[in-house]
Every structure is written in structure tokens, then in C-alpha cells.
A and B are shown apart, each in its own frame.
Chain A
């Protein structure tokens, strides 16, 4: 049971093919201009691509030649700026998507939807009398009113403040738990995708870079492009050497152990996440239990509330700066300041090697 999307288009350039799980939230993530909004519009036929093949759980919406009109598709759509009908109240907006329902039942259903979206008190207000968060909730209530089988959300949280956004995340998750509609969420915010989506599709230049469960995509990029799109700062060049069936990663003067699945020889690119750089406590000696222990010196420190970022130059690798994330209290406890010597390690399993060596 999947949503299968195959879209090809020239302007904007799209060459996309993916199968997305039904009943789950899937995030389409990519930089500005990557074509994610255009892709989102294709299942609603708001974009008319050169080629479209779209099916939801076996029901064909587009088959290359035949296309189901937008109004006949069981979809809900929340555009970036909500697209509320400015001359209608919140209740009128929701009722408009229920025209197929007879009068009294329509009003009842619309009120229920507003209640579900926590904006029942705004029923009589016009869109211009609503806050950003309230508009977003009304748009969501309107989109859900028709019991859509596919809900399309185009950066729906981009126009609200941080606090409202956080509460909307919680509400959307709760709503999805009660009503597990297939949702397609466009966002450029990886944190938003991580908090809401169980699946993630990374897009660049209209093409899929990587797709899969969110946690996996966020922590195990399959390519250097994916790592860049995921904003992983620790991306370096090295060399793989295999000796007696054990492959090691040569990084300057260092020989790093690799997971057993990594095989190959020659130049490669590799990455590791800042949160996977482990601080070795100065009061604890080096031991055999540590994987890939390294020395270095802190070049800069940035405190971001309870978390801190430390930039480290590893010994023997002048000019190569990596990032480590750690709790701010550890920073204070071990007195890490710019210029301090730092000992750290990167577990073999956390090293991600790209290019043709994997």
C-alpha cells in the first residue's frame, strides 16, 4: 500500500520516482529551487508535468495520458500561505470544502473539524482577524474536512513563530496518530522533518538523492551530495587500505578502524556526524575500549543553550577542522576553551565512507 509518484518535467527540471508509505508522514527535503514544491503540486495536478504516473494504493490518478481532475482527487492541500478564502469566515472556509455534504450536516462537520484543529473559537472570524498559527490550523481543518487520503503540506510552518511552530508540530503528530492519513510535507528544515516525518526524501535538482526512514537518512547519508544536503560539516578526504582482510581509513597520519562491511582501496571521501564525535575525558586514560582515539586542539567554541559546538583541529592535519557537539555542562566541566587540547574518538561504525569504495 503505497503512494507511487513518477514525475518528469522540463521547467522546473524534475525527474523523480519514489514509492512512499501509505498512512505515514513523508518529508520532501531539499534546498531552495530543488523542485520540492513542484513535486508536491504534481499529485494535486496543480502542476501539469510532461509525464506523470501517480497511484495511491492501486488507484490510478495519472497514467501518462489520463488524468483525474484535481477536484475529484481525495486530497487535502495546505499551501505555504494557507490559501484561505479571505471573504469567508473560518467556518465558511471549512464548509466550502464540504459542499457535497447537505446543509445542516455540513455545518456540524465543519465545526467538528475546527474543534479538532483547536480553532473552534475562531469559527466566526475572517482570515485577516486570525493569527498566523490560527490561519494554519484553519487551513489544516479545511484540508482534513473531506477525509483526504493524501494530505499535501507545503512548508506550512514557515510563516509562524518558533513557539507556535513547536506546538503545531505536537498537534500535527497527535492529529496524525488519530487520523493516519498519508501526508507529504515539503520543508527545507531538517529538524522539522526529523520531528514530524517517519520517512524522508532528499531532493536536489528535481531528483531523489536518498529516500528512506527519517532516522536512517539523517544519520547514514549514501552519498556526498546527501551529506551536503543534510548539512553534515565533517566531510573529509582520505584513503582506504586493506590489509589481511581488514580495511582501514587513512586520514593524514591516522589509521582509523572501519566497520567490517567497508571494503576497498584508494582515495575516498568520508563523513561523520558532529554528535558522533565523542569527547575522551581527560581524567580517564586511553584504553583499548576506545575506537579511533585522536588528539587535537579546540579552535573555537559556541554555546547554543544546553548544547555546545566545538571546532577541533586534529593533530597532524593542519587546516582540517571538524565539529563536535556535546552538552554545555561537559564544556564547563572539562574547561574546553579555544586553544585547549582535546582528546576525542569516532567509532568505526559511525564513519560513513562514500565514492566507489563501499
Chain B
């Protein structure tokens, strides 16, 4: 087992969640209530990481973070380090390619709330914040939890984008998925097998939890 790679993957997944979840929560709630002709385009843009090859996303992210890009130059001036091939760069990339995994389950959960329930909340004198915290969040929480689980697991398993943006620097950008690839290249099938099994079990647990929460969401809706 490559414990530094596993630790790095867990650190990356946690950082991604911490950055992405609040942003995705806000975006999902807004999208769920937004009525506009532009909505399919915005939704399509957010869903792009689902259909684009990871190498394509990785390429664009690498260009956006490179030393010639405004973002890359700004980061280098501010920190003295490059954004590409760094852990911070990996977090940025991870946030971007996880957007659909975070936004979509939450958006569906907010959309599933009966409009009559929200109107009743207004008529009960609840402010927008009270309605969000007391009514919408509790009703959407299975979707929020599902989004968190999916994002976490997907970050652990992502390979292409991480390799493009972060390269393969042990202790800095080498995640568990890249470590598996590395072990296979060096014919260390024992370590590769153990890490693959660990990822398999995590993925299975993730999907099971996700389905369980979706089921619970449906039951909650049945009033």
C-alpha cells in the first residue's frame, strides 16, 4: 500500500468537498428555481465534465493554470509557486471536474420539493433564510449527502485530469489512482491489487449509500 498516495487522495477529496459543496449548494438551489431560456445552456456547461474526455478537461485546465495564463501568473506572483503541478492546482482541477457530481443531485433534491410546501412556508411568515434552513435543507439533505459522497469518491478515483494537471510527483500530486498506474508500470501487482480493491470497495459503498439516500428522499416526499 502506498500510504502517502492514499493520504494525499483523502486530503484532496476533503479539500475539494470543503470548497465545492457550499458553492454547489448555492448554484443547485438557484438553478432549481431559475426559469430562463438560458437555463439549459448553463446546465449543459456545468455538466460538461460528464461527457468530455478527462484529457480534454485536463488540457484546458493546464492551459488556464499555466505560467502564461492570467490565473497562473497571478498565483505565481501571490505565492511564488506555480499553480500547475501543485496540490493547490489539483484542488482547483478537482473542484471543476466534480461540479456535475455535486450540483446535479442537490439540484434534483431542491426541484423535488413541492412548490406548495415553499408557498406555505412563506405564508407561515418564514423569511427566505428560515425557509432555507428549516424547510429546504432538511428536505434536500439526502441529495446534499449524496452529492458529497459522490464528489468524495469521484475525487479518490479520478485519473486523467489529475495526471494532466498535477503530473506524478510523489507526496505532492501523486494520488492513489496514479499510484496504482505507477505500480502496474513497475510490475508491483501486489500493491496495485490492494489499492485497486480498496478503491473498488469505496466506490461500491458510495453507490450503495447514494442509492439508499435517493430511496429515502422518495419516501420523504410521499406525504
Q: A84 at the A/B interface (Cβ < 8 Å)? A: yes
Among A68-99, those with CB < 8 Å from B are 70-73, 75-77, 79-87, 96-97, 99
Among A127-153, those with CB < 8 Å from B are 127-128, 135, 139, 142-143, 146, 152
Q: A1 at the A/B interface (Cβ < 8 Å)? A: no
Q: B223 at the A/B interface (Cβ < 8 Å)? A: yes
Question: B220 and A83: CB pair below 8 A?
Answer: no
Question: B124 and A146: CB pair below 8 A?
Answer: yes
**Which interface residue of A70, A72, A100 has the most chain B CB atoms within 10 A?**
A70
**Which interface residue of B125, B126, B135 has the most chain A CB atoms within 10 A?**
B125
Q: Which of B11-19, B46-54, B96-104, B114-122 contacts A (4 or more CB under 8 A)?
A: B114-122
Question: B121 and A96: CB pair below 8 A?
Answer: yes
CB-CB under 8 A from B122, the residues of chain A are: 44, 46, 70-71
Q: Categorize the interface residue count of chain A.
A: 20 to 34
Choose among B117, B125, B220, B222 the residue that contacts A100 (Cβ–Cβ < 8 A): B125
How many B residues, CB 8 Å from partner? 21
Q: B69 at the A/B interface (Cβ < 8 Å)? A: no
Question: B121 and A86: CB pair below 8 A?
Answer: no
Question: B220 and A77: CB pair below 8 A?
Answer: no
Closest Cβ of chain A to B133, distance in Å, is 11
Among B24-38, those with CB < 8 Å from A are none
CB-CB under 8 A from B125, the residues of chain A are: 71-72, 97, 99-100, 146
Contact mask for chain A residues 2-32; partner B; CB cutoff 8 A; 1 contact, 0 none? 0000000000000000000000000000000
CB-CB under 8 A from B114, the residues of chain A are: 81, 83, 86
A143 vs B123: C-alpha distance when bound (angstroms): 8
A127 vs B221: C-alpha distance when bound (angstroms): 10
Closest Cβ of chain B to A249, distance in Å, is 50
A142 vs B119: C-alpha distance when bound (angstroms): 13
CB-CB under 8 A from B220, the residues of chain A are: 86-87
Question: A99 and B135: CB pair below 8 A?
Answer: no
Main SS of chain B's interface residues? helix
A144 vs B117: C-alpha distance when bound (angstroms): 17
A76 vs B127: C-alpha distance when bound (angstroms): 15
Question: A97 and B124: CB pair below 8 A?
Answer: yes
A73 vs B124: C-alpha distance when bound (angstroms): 10
Question: A99 and B123: CB pair below 8 A?
Answer: no
**Which residue of the partner chain A has the closest CB to B221?**
A86
Choose among A87, A96, A128 the residue that contacts B124 (Cβ–Cβ < 8 A): A96
A163 vs B138: C-alpha distance when bound (angstroms): 35
Closest Cβ of chain B to A77, distance in Å, is 4
CB-CB under 8 A from A71, the residues of chain B are: 122-127
Q: B139 at the A/B interface (Cβ < 8 Å)? A: yes
CB-CB under 8 A from B124, the residues of chain A are: 71, 96-97, 99, 142, 146
**Which interface residue of A76, A87, A128, A152 has the most chain B CB atoms within 10 A?**
A87
Question: B119 and A85: CB pair below 8 A?
Answer: no
Q: Which 8 A-B pairs have the closest CB atoms?
A: A83-B120, A97-B124, A83-B116, A77-B123, A127-B223, A70-B122, A79-B116, A86-B223
16 sample A-B contacts, Cβ–Cβ < 8 Å, listed by A number: A44-B119, A44-B123, A46-B123, A70-B123, A71-B124, A83-B114, A84-B120, A85-B117, A86-B114, A86-B117, A86-B222, A86-B223, A96-B121, A96-B135, A97-B125, A142-B124
Query: What residues of chain A have their CB less than 8 Å away from a CB belonging to chain B?
Result: 44, 46, 70-73, 75-77, 79-87, 96-97, 99-100, 127-128, 135, 139, 142-143, 146, 152
